Protein backbone atom coordinates (compact mmCIF):
# COMPACT_ATOMS: atom_id res chain seq x y z
CA UNK A 1 0.00 0.00 0.00
CA UNK A 2 1.43 3.34 -1.03
CA UNK A 3 0.97 7.09 -1.07
CA UNK A 4 1.00 9.06 -4.33
CA UNK A 5 1.29 12.81 -4.83
CA UNK A 6 -0.52 13.76 -8.04
CA UNK A 7 0.50 17.18 -9.39
CA UNK A 8 -1.99 18.85 -11.75
CA UNK A 9 -5.77 18.83 -11.70
CA UNK A 10 -6.65 19.03 -15.39
CA UNK A 11 -8.16 16.52 -17.81
CA UNK A 12 -5.45 13.88 -17.42
CA UNK A 13 -5.16 14.30 -13.63
CA UNK A 14 -8.89 13.71 -13.31
CA UNK A 15 -8.49 10.27 -14.92
CA UNK A 16 -5.39 9.41 -12.85
CA UNK A 17 -7.28 10.25 -9.66
CA UNK A 18 -10.29 8.13 -10.71
CA UNK A 19 -8.05 5.20 -11.61
CA UNK A 20 -6.05 5.41 -8.36
CA UNK A 21 -9.35 5.38 -6.47
CA UNK A 22 -10.37 2.23 -8.37
CA UNK A 23 -7.19 0.52 -7.10
CA UNK A 24 -7.10 0.98 -3.32
CA UNK A 25 -4.96 -2.15 -2.92
CA UNK A 26 -2.06 -0.13 -4.41
CA UNK A 27 -2.97 3.51 -3.74
CA UNK A 28 -3.82 3.81 -0.06
CA UNK A 29 -3.64 7.60 0.09
CA UNK A 30 -3.33 10.27 -2.59
CA UNK A 31 -2.74 13.99 -2.52
CA UNK A 32 -3.97 16.08 -5.44
CA UNK A 33 -1.94 19.28 -5.63
CA UNK A 34 -2.18 21.93 -8.30
CA UNK A 35 -1.95 25.63 -9.04
CA UNK A 36 -5.71 26.11 -8.61
CA UNK A 37 -6.70 24.31 -5.41
CA UNK A 38 -10.45 24.56 -6.09
CA UNK A 39 -9.99 22.04 -8.96
CA UNK A 40 -8.31 19.61 -6.54
CA UNK A 41 -11.11 20.11 -4.01
CA UNK A 42 -13.74 19.49 -6.69
CA UNK A 43 -12.09 16.15 -7.50
CA UNK A 44 -11.98 15.24 -3.82
CA UNK A 45 -15.66 16.15 -3.43
CA UNK A 46 -16.49 13.83 -6.34
CA UNK A 47 -14.36 10.86 -5.31
CA UNK A 48 -13.74 11.19 -1.57
CA UNK A 49 -15.34 8.94 1.01
CA UNK A 50 -14.11 5.68 -0.56
CA UNK A 51 -11.29 3.41 0.56
CA UNK A 52 -8.59 5.73 -0.85
CA UNK A 53 -7.91 8.68 1.45
CA UNK A 54 -7.71 11.92 -0.58
CA UNK A 55 -5.91 15.13 0.43
CA UNK A 56 -5.59 18.35 -1.56
CA UNK A 57 -3.11 21.20 -1.63
CA UNK A 58 -2.15 24.31 -3.56
CA UNK A 59 1.29 24.20 -5.16
CA UNK A 60 3.23 26.14 -7.75
CA UNK A 61 5.20 23.28 -9.27
CA UNK A 62 7.57 25.70 -11.03
CA UNK A 63 8.91 26.35 -7.56
CA UNK A 64 11.06 23.42 -6.40
CA UNK A 65 11.13 24.64 -2.80
CA UNK A 66 7.32 24.52 -2.64
CA UNK A 67 7.23 21.00 -4.08
CA UNK A 68 9.90 19.85 -1.61
CA UNK A 69 7.87 21.27 1.30
CA UNK A 70 4.76 19.46 0.07
CA UNK A 71 6.63 16.17 -0.33
CA UNK A 72 8.11 16.51 3.16
CA UNK A 73 4.65 17.13 4.57
CA UNK A 74 2.80 14.31 2.77
CA UNK A 75 5.71 11.84 2.43
CA UNK A 76 4.56 10.13 -0.80
CA UNK A 77 6.23 7.05 -2.31
CA UNK A 78 5.85 8.51 -5.81
CA UNK A 79 5.09 11.83 -7.50
CA UNK A 80 2.84 11.53 -10.56
CA UNK A 81 3.42 14.67 -12.63
CA UNK A 82 0.36 15.41 -14.78
CA UNK A 83 0.79 19.19 -14.73
CA UNK A 84 2.52 20.60 -17.82
CA UNK A 85 5.88 19.67 -19.42
CA UNK A 86 7.30 23.00 -18.18
CA UNK A 87 7.27 21.66 -14.60
CA UNK A 88 9.14 18.39 -15.27
CA UNK A 89 12.57 19.57 -14.15
CA UNK A 90 11.49 21.48 -11.06
CA UNK A 91 9.50 18.43 -9.90
CA UNK A 92 12.41 16.06 -10.69
CA UNK A 93 14.68 18.32 -8.62
CA UNK A 94 12.22 18.09 -5.72
CA UNK A 95 12.13 14.27 -6.07
CA UNK A 96 15.93 14.16 -5.97
CA UNK A 97 16.06 16.35 -2.87
CA UNK A 98 13.54 14.15 -1.04
CA UNK A 99 14.44 10.75 -2.61
CA UNK A 100 10.97 10.03 -3.99
CA UNK A 101 10.16 8.20 -7.25
CA UNK A 102 8.89 10.24 -10.23
CA UNK A 103 6.59 9.64 -13.23
CA UNK A 104 5.32 11.89 -16.03
CA UNK A 105 3.53 11.71 -19.38
CA UNK A 106 5.29 14.39 -21.44
CA UNK A 107 8.94 15.41 -21.79
CA UNK A 108 10.41 18.69 -20.68
CA UNK A 109 10.12 21.76 -22.80
CA UNK A 110 11.01 25.34 -21.94
CA UNK A 111 8.02 27.72 -22.01
CA UNK A 112 9.90 30.16 -24.28
CA UNK A 113 11.11 27.61 -26.87
CA UNK A 114 8.67 25.26 -28.58
CA UNK A 115 11.16 22.39 -28.72
CA UNK A 116 10.83 19.30 -26.58
CA UNK A 117 13.65 16.80 -26.19
CA UNK A 118 14.70 14.16 -23.67
CA UNK A 119 18.19 15.59 -23.22
CA UNK A 120 17.17 17.58 -20.14
CA UNK A 121 15.58 14.67 -18.32
CA UNK A 122 18.05 11.96 -19.43
CA UNK A 123 20.72 14.18 -17.83
CA UNK A 124 19.26 13.23 -14.42
CA UNK A 125 20.02 9.50 -14.89
CA UNK A 126 23.18 9.33 -12.79
CA UNK A 127 21.77 11.53 -10.04
CA UNK A 128 18.62 9.38 -9.79
CA UNK A 129 20.75 6.21 -9.75
CA UNK A 130 22.91 7.59 -6.93
CA UNK A 131 19.82 8.68 -4.97
CA UNK A 132 18.35 5.17 -5.37
CA UNK A 133 15.16 6.49 -6.97
CA UNK A 134 13.49 5.93 -10.32
CA UNK A 135 11.94 8.26 -12.90
CA UNK A 136 9.60 6.80 -15.51
CA UNK A 137 9.29 9.22 -18.42
CA UNK A 138 6.37 9.47 -20.82
CA UNK A 139 3.92 6.99 -19.29
CA UNK A 140 0.83 8.22 -21.16
CA UNK A 141 -0.47 6.78 -24.45
CA UNK A 142 1.81 8.46 -26.96
CA UNK A 143 4.40 8.57 -25.55
CA UNK A 144 3.78 5.64 -23.27
CA UNK A 145 1.66 2.77 -24.55
CA UNK A 146 3.16 3.23 -28.03
CA UNK A 147 6.62 2.50 -26.54
CA UNK A 148 5.25 -0.52 -24.66
CA UNK A 149 3.65 -1.76 -27.92
CA UNK A 150 7.05 -1.54 -29.65
CA UNK A 151 8.81 -3.35 -26.80
CA UNK A 152 6.09 -6.04 -26.91
CA UNK A 153 6.53 -6.47 -30.67
CA UNK A 154 10.28 -6.76 -30.22
CA UNK A 155 9.99 -9.29 -27.39
CA UNK A 156 7.37 -11.59 -28.93
CA UNK A 157 7.29 -11.19 -32.69
CA UNK A 158 10.54 -9.95 -34.19
CA UNK A 159 14.22 -10.83 -34.43
CA UNK A 160 14.82 -7.48 -36.14
CA UNK A 161 12.55 -4.43 -36.29
CA UNK A 162 13.14 -2.27 -39.36
CA UNK A 163 10.22 0.18 -39.51
CA UNK A 164 7.74 1.57 -36.98
CA UNK A 165 4.75 3.74 -37.93
CA UNK A 166 2.82 5.13 -34.98
CA UNK A 167 -0.75 6.03 -35.97
CA UNK A 168 -2.91 8.23 -33.77
CA UNK A 169 -6.51 8.62 -34.95
CA UNK A 170 -9.17 10.59 -33.18
CA UNK A 171 -12.60 9.99 -34.68
CA UNK A 172 -14.26 12.01 -31.91
CA UNK A 173 -16.59 14.94 -32.54
CA UNK A 174 -17.22 17.48 -29.75
CA UNK A 175 -19.49 19.69 -31.82
CA UNK A 176 -17.35 22.85 -31.49
CA UNK A 177 -15.95 24.41 -34.68
CA UNK A 178 -12.48 24.35 -33.06
CA UNK A 179 -11.15 22.96 -29.77
CA UNK A 180 -8.13 20.91 -28.73
CA UNK A 181 -8.46 17.63 -26.88
CA UNK A 182 -5.74 18.36 -24.37
CA UNK A 183 -3.97 21.48 -23.15
CA UNK A 184 -4.35 23.84 -26.19
CA UNK A 185 -1.00 25.52 -25.65
CA UNK A 186 0.98 22.26 -25.59
CA UNK A 187 -1.13 20.80 -28.40
CA UNK A 188 -0.77 23.75 -30.79
CA UNK A 189 2.96 24.12 -30.11
CA UNK A 190 3.35 20.45 -31.11
CA UNK A 191 1.30 20.67 -34.30
CA UNK A 192 2.70 23.94 -35.64
CA UNK A 193 6.30 22.77 -35.23
CA UNK A 194 8.24 21.18 -38.12
CA UNK A 195 7.56 17.50 -38.79
CA UNK A 196 10.45 15.12 -38.23
CA UNK A 197 11.00 11.40 -38.69
CA UNK A 198 13.89 9.03 -38.04
CA UNK A 199 15.65 7.30 -40.92
CA UNK A 200 18.99 5.49 -41.09
CA UNK A 201 20.50 6.98 -37.96
CA UNK A 202 19.32 10.56 -38.33
CA UNK A 203 16.23 12.74 -38.11
CA UNK A 204 14.82 14.22 -41.31
CA UNK A 205 12.87 17.48 -40.99
CA UNK A 206 9.74 18.41 -42.98
CA UNK A 207 7.71 21.66 -42.98
CA UNK A 208 4.72 21.60 -40.56
CA UNK A 209 1.87 19.33 -41.75
CA UNK A 210 3.41 18.97 -45.22
CA UNK A 211 3.37 15.15 -45.44
CA UNK A 212 -0.16 13.76 -45.75
CA UNK A 213 -1.60 10.29 -46.39
CA UNK A 214 -4.92 8.52 -45.89
CA UNK A 215 -5.58 5.51 -43.71
CA UNK A 216 -8.66 3.43 -42.98
CA UNK A 217 -8.78 2.88 -39.22
CA UNK A 218 -10.66 0.04 -37.56
CA UNK A 219 -13.90 1.46 -36.06
CA UNK A 220 -12.89 5.04 -36.89
CA UNK A 221 -12.89 4.88 -40.69
CA UNK A 222 -11.00 6.65 -43.46
CA UNK A 223 -8.98 9.64 -42.22
CA UNK A 224 -6.33 12.08 -43.42
CA UNK A 225 -3.12 11.54 -41.47
CA UNK A 226 -0.21 13.96 -41.19
CA UNK A 227 3.41 13.31 -40.29
CA UNK A 228 4.37 15.00 -37.00
CA UNK A 229 7.37 14.91 -34.75
CA UNK A 230 6.49 13.25 -31.47
CA UNK A 231 8.69 12.70 -28.46
CA UNK A 232 8.71 8.90 -28.42
CA UNK A 233 10.57 8.91 -31.75
CA UNK A 234 13.67 10.14 -29.89
CA UNK A 235 13.65 7.40 -27.25
CA UNK A 236 12.54 4.58 -29.57
CA UNK A 237 15.38 5.42 -31.99
CA UNK A 238 17.76 4.75 -29.10
CA UNK A 239 15.98 1.84 -27.40
CA UNK A 240 14.68 -0.31 -30.30
CA UNK A 241 17.95 -1.79 -31.49
CA UNK A 242 18.50 -1.86 -35.24
CA UNK A 243 15.38 0.15 -36.16
CA UNK A 244 15.86 1.97 -39.47
CA UNK A 245 12.79 4.16 -39.76
CA UNK A 246 10.23 5.56 -37.28
CA UNK A 247 7.40 7.90 -38.17
CA UNK A 248 4.46 9.36 -36.25
CA UNK A 249 1.10 10.14 -37.88
CA UNK A 250 -1.91 11.96 -36.51
CA UNK A 251 -5.38 12.56 -37.95
CA UNK A 252 -6.66 16.09 -38.49
CA UNK A 253 -9.84 17.15 -40.24
CA UNK A 254 -9.79 19.83 -42.94
CA UNK A 255 -12.00 21.97 -40.66
CA UNK A 256 -9.48 21.78 -37.79
CA UNK A 257 -6.56 22.66 -40.05
CA UNK A 258 -8.40 25.59 -41.65
CA UNK A 259 -9.04 27.10 -38.20
CA UNK A 260 -5.45 26.47 -37.19
CA UNK A 261 -4.12 28.12 -40.37
CA UNK A 262 -6.21 31.22 -39.78
CA UNK A 263 -5.12 31.44 -36.13
CA UNK A 264 -1.49 31.05 -37.22
CA UNK A 265 -1.82 33.64 -39.99
CA UNK A 266 -3.23 36.26 -37.63
CA UNK A 267 -0.51 35.57 -35.05
CA UNK A 268 -2.66 33.92 -32.38
CA UNK A 269 -0.44 30.80 -32.08
CA UNK A 270 2.74 32.80 -31.41
CA UNK A 271 4.59 32.27 -28.13
CA UNK A 272 6.41 35.61 -28.41
CA UNK A 273 5.04 38.03 -25.80
CA UNK A 274 3.29 41.22 -26.96
CA UNK A 275 2.07 44.30 -25.07
CA UNK A 276 -1.74 44.54 -24.81
CA UNK A 277 -3.35 47.43 -22.93
CA UNK A 278 -0.22 47.97 -20.87
CA UNK A 279 0.20 44.28 -19.98
CA UNK A 280 2.51 41.69 -21.54
CA UNK A 281 0.60 38.70 -22.90
CA UNK A 282 1.54 35.61 -24.92
CA UNK A 283 -0.92 35.24 -27.84
CA UNK A 284 -1.06 31.42 -27.56
CA UNK A 285 -1.84 31.66 -23.84
CA UNK A 286 -4.61 34.15 -24.59
CA UNK A 287 -5.97 31.77 -27.23
CA UNK A 288 -5.97 28.98 -24.62
CA UNK A 289 -8.07 31.20 -22.36
CA UNK A 290 -10.77 31.70 -25.01
CA UNK A 291 -10.87 28.13 -26.34
CA UNK A 292 -13.06 25.48 -24.68
CA UNK A 293 -11.38 23.86 -21.67
CA UNK A 294 -10.39 20.32 -22.80
CA UNK A 295 -11.70 19.00 -19.48
CA UNK A 296 -15.17 20.27 -20.51
CA UNK A 297 -15.29 18.30 -23.78
CA UNK A 298 -16.13 15.02 -22.09
CA UNK A 299 -19.93 15.17 -22.12
CA UNK A 300 -20.03 16.44 -25.74
CA UNK A 301 -17.53 14.15 -27.46
CA UNK A 302 -18.81 11.18 -29.42
CA UNK A 303 -16.82 8.62 -31.43
CA UNK A 304 -13.64 6.66 -30.87
CA UNK A 305 -9.88 6.95 -30.84
CA UNK A 306 -7.63 4.33 -32.43
CA UNK A 307 -3.92 4.57 -31.55
CA UNK A 308 -1.31 1.97 -32.33
CA UNK A 309 1.91 0.91 -34.02
CA UNK A 310 2.54 -0.83 -37.33
CA UNK A 311 5.83 -2.67 -37.03
CA UNK A 312 7.74 -4.24 -39.94
CA UNK A 313 10.78 -6.45 -39.66
CA UNK A 314 12.11 -10.00 -39.74
CA UNK A 315 11.21 -13.14 -37.78
CA UNK A 316 12.97 -16.47 -38.38
CA UNK A 317 14.48 -15.11 -41.58
CA UNK A 318 11.10 -14.07 -43.06
CA UNK A 319 9.53 -10.60 -43.37
CA UNK A 320 6.77 -9.94 -40.84
CA UNK A 321 4.23 -7.12 -40.39
CA UNK A 322 2.37 -6.49 -37.16
CA UNK A 323 -0.18 -3.87 -36.06
CA UNK A 324 -1.13 -3.48 -32.40
CA UNK A 325 -3.67 -0.83 -31.38
CA UNK A 326 -6.23 0.25 -28.84
CA UNK A 327 -9.70 1.60 -29.59
CA UNK A 328 -11.19 3.84 -26.93
CA UNK A 329 -14.76 5.17 -26.97
CA UNK A 330 -15.15 8.81 -25.86
CA UNK A 331 -18.62 8.27 -24.34
CA UNK A 332 -17.65 5.10 -22.48
CA UNK A 333 -14.61 6.90 -21.04
CA UNK A 334 -16.85 9.76 -19.98
CA UNK A 335 -19.35 7.47 -18.32
CA UNK A 336 -16.59 5.81 -16.33
CA UNK A 337 -14.43 8.74 -15.24
CA UNK A 338 -16.05 11.97 -16.49
CA UNK A 339 -13.38 12.64 -19.18
CA UNK A 340 -13.14 12.09 -22.94
CA UNK A 341 -10.87 9.44 -24.46
CA UNK A 342 -7.77 11.64 -24.95
CA UNK A 343 -7.50 12.27 -21.21
CA UNK A 344 -8.55 8.66 -20.52
CA UNK A 345 -5.93 7.09 -22.78
CA UNK A 346 -3.25 9.24 -21.06
CA UNK A 347 -4.41 8.90 -17.44
CA UNK A 348 -4.84 5.11 -17.41
CA UNK A 349 -1.22 4.36 -18.50
CA UNK A 350 0.04 6.94 -15.97
CA UNK A 351 -1.74 5.02 -13.21
CA UNK A 352 -0.47 1.69 -14.58
CA UNK A 353 3.15 2.93 -14.71
CA UNK A 354 2.89 4.16 -11.12
CA UNK A 355 1.27 0.89 -10.04
CA UNK A 356 4.05 -1.22 -11.61
CA UNK A 357 6.69 0.95 -9.92
CA UNK A 358 5.00 0.82 -6.53
CA UNK A 359 4.59 -2.97 -6.76
CA UNK A 360 8.31 -3.24 -7.56
CA UNK A 361 7.56 -4.88 -10.95
CA UNK A 362 9.10 -1.97 -12.88
CA UNK A 363 11.65 -0.65 -10.44
CA UNK A 364 15.30 0.22 -10.82
CA UNK A 365 17.11 3.40 -9.84
CA UNK A 366 17.72 5.78 -12.73
CA UNK A 367 15.74 7.56 -15.47
CA UNK A 368 13.92 5.37 -17.99
CA UNK A 369 11.49 5.38 -20.88
CA UNK A 370 8.73 2.78 -20.83
CA UNK A 371 10.15 0.63 -23.65
CA UNK A 372 13.18 -0.18 -21.48
CA UNK A 373 11.11 -2.49 -19.22
CA UNK A 374 9.42 -5.87 -19.70
CA UNK A 375 6.24 -4.92 -21.63
CA UNK A 376 4.17 -7.95 -20.54
CA UNK A 377 2.89 -6.73 -17.14
CA UNK A 378 1.98 -3.36 -18.68
CA UNK A 379 0.16 -5.01 -21.60
CA UNK A 380 -1.78 -7.20 -19.16
CA UNK A 381 -2.68 -4.18 -17.04
CA UNK A 382 -3.95 -2.29 -20.11
CA UNK A 383 -6.47 -5.07 -20.70
CA UNK A 384 -7.51 -5.04 -17.05
CA UNK A 385 -7.81 -1.29 -16.53
CA UNK A 386 -9.80 -0.11 -19.52
CA UNK A 387 -7.49 0.02 -22.56
CA UNK A 388 -7.69 -3.41 -24.22
CA UNK A 389 -5.54 -3.86 -27.33
CA UNK A 390 -5.91 -5.78 -30.56
CA UNK A 391 -3.47 -7.32 -33.00
CA UNK A 392 -3.47 -7.62 -36.79
CA UNK A 393 -0.79 -9.68 -38.53
CA UNK A 394 -1.78 -8.54 -42.04
CA UNK A 395 -2.19 -4.76 -41.76
CA UNK A 396 -2.42 -2.28 -44.63
CA UNK A 397 1.02 -0.66 -44.68
CA UNK A 398 2.01 2.96 -45.25
CA UNK A 399 4.51 3.36 -48.08
N1 LIG B 1 1.56 11.05 -23.29
C2 LIG B 1 0.36 11.35 -23.72
O3 LIG B 1 -0.28 10.53 -24.38
C4 LIG B 1 -0.28 12.66 -23.39
C5 LIG B 1 -1.51 13.00 -24.00
C6 LIG B 1 -2.15 14.16 -23.60
C7 LIG B 1 -1.56 14.99 -22.65
N8 LIG B 1 -0.35 14.65 -22.10
C9 LIG B 1 0.30 15.51 -21.08
O10 LIG B 1 -0.47 15.44 -19.89
C11 LIG B 1 -0.26 16.61 -19.13
C12 LIG B 1 -1.59 17.14 -18.61
O13 LIG B 1 -2.44 17.46 -19.72
P14 LIG B 1 -3.92 17.98 -19.48
O15 LIG B 1 -4.64 17.86 -20.76
O16 LIG B 1 -4.49 17.37 -18.25
O17 LIG B 1 -3.63 19.55 -19.24
P18 LIG B 1 -4.56 20.59 -18.47
O19 LIG B 1 -6.00 20.14 -18.52
O20 LIG B 1 -4.18 21.93 -18.98
O21 LIG B 1 -4.08 20.44 -16.94
C22 LIG B 1 -2.83 20.87 -16.50
C23 LIG B 1 -2.91 21.03 -14.99
O24 LIG B 1 -1.62 21.40 -14.52
C25 LIG B 1 -1.77 22.51 -13.66
N26 LIG B 1 -0.58 23.35 -13.65
C27 LIG B 1 -0.07 24.10 -14.67
N28 LIG B 1 1.01 24.77 -14.26
C29 LIG B 1 1.20 24.44 -12.95
C30 LIG B 1 2.14 24.82 -11.98
N31 LIG B 1 3.14 25.68 -12.25
N32 LIG B 1 2.02 24.30 -10.75
C33 LIG B 1 1.01 23.44 -10.43
N34 LIG B 1 0.10 23.05 -11.32
C35 LIG B 1 0.19 23.55 -12.57
C36 LIG B 1 -2.94 23.28 -14.22
O37 LIG B 1 -3.41 24.15 -13.23
P38 LIG B 1 -4.57 25.25 -13.53
O39 LIG B 1 -5.81 24.50 -13.31
O40 LIG B 1 -4.32 26.33 -12.54
O41 LIG B 1 -4.38 25.71 -14.96
C42 LIG B 1 -3.88 22.12 -14.57
O43 LIG B 1 -4.62 21.68 -13.46
C44 LIG B 1 0.50 17.57 -20.06
O45 LIG B 1 1.86 17.55 -19.72
C46 LIG B 1 0.30 16.98 -21.42
O47 LIG B 1 1.36 17.29 -22.30
C48 LIG B 1 0.29 13.50 -22.44
Q: What is the pLDDT of residues 170-208, one digit of tens each?
A: 999 999 999 988 888 888 888 888 999 999 999 999 999
Looking at residue 34, its pLDDT comes to 98
Looking at residue 296, its pLDDT comes to 84
Give the position, in ligand 1's atom list, of the atom nearest the Cα of 141.
3
Q: For ligand 1, is residue 9 a contact (CB within 6 Å)?
A: yes
Distance 344 CA to ligand 1 centre (A): 13
β-pairing verdict for 2-7 and 27-34: parallel
Distance CA 248, CA 86 (A): 23
Q: What element of type H or E holds 381?
A: helix 376-384
Residues 91, 106: contact at Cβ < 8 Å?
A: no
Number of other CB atoms surrounding residue 101 within 10 Å: 23
Q: For ligand 1, is residue 144 a contact (CB within 6 Å)?
A: yes
Q: For ligand 1, is residue 184 a contact (CB within 6 Å)?
A: no
Of the candidates 263, 365, 377, 248, which has an alpha carbon nearest to the alpha carbon of residue 307? Answer: 248
Number of other CB atoms surrounding residue 70 within 10 Å: 21
Length of the chain: 399
Distance CA 122, CA 4 (A): 23
Distance 182 CA to ligand 1 centre (A): 8
| Each residue's pLDDT tens digit, 309-342 | 999 999 999 999 999 999 999 999 999 999 999 9
pTM above 0.85, yes or no: yes
Q: For ligand 1, is residue 83 a contact (CB within 6 Å)?
A: yes
The CATH class given to the 145-336 domain equals alpha beta
Backbone angles phi, psi at 96, to 5 degrees: -65, -45
Looking at residue 182, its pLDDT comes to 80
Testing ligand 1's pocket by substitution, the residue of 5, 34, 104 carrying the most ligand atoms inside 8 A of its CB is: 34
Looking at residue 191, its pLDDT comes to 87
The residues of the chain scoring below 70 in pLDDT are none
Distance CA 351, CA 359 (A): 12
Looking at residue 112, its pLDDT comes to 83
Give the position, in ligand 1's atom list, of the atom nearest the Cα of 139.
1
Looking at residue 136, its pLDDT comes to 98
Amino acid sequence: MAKALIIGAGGVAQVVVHKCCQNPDVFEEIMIASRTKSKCDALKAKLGGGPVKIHTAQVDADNTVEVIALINEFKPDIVINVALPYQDLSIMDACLATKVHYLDTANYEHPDTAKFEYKWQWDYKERFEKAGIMALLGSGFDPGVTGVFCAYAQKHYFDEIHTIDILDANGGDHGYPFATNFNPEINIREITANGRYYENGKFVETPPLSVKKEYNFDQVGQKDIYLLYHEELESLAVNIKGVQKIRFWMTFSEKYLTHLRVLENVGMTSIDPIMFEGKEIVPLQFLKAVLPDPASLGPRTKGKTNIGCIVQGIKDGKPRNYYVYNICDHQEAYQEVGSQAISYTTGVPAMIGAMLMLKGIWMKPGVYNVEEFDPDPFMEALNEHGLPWQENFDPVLLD
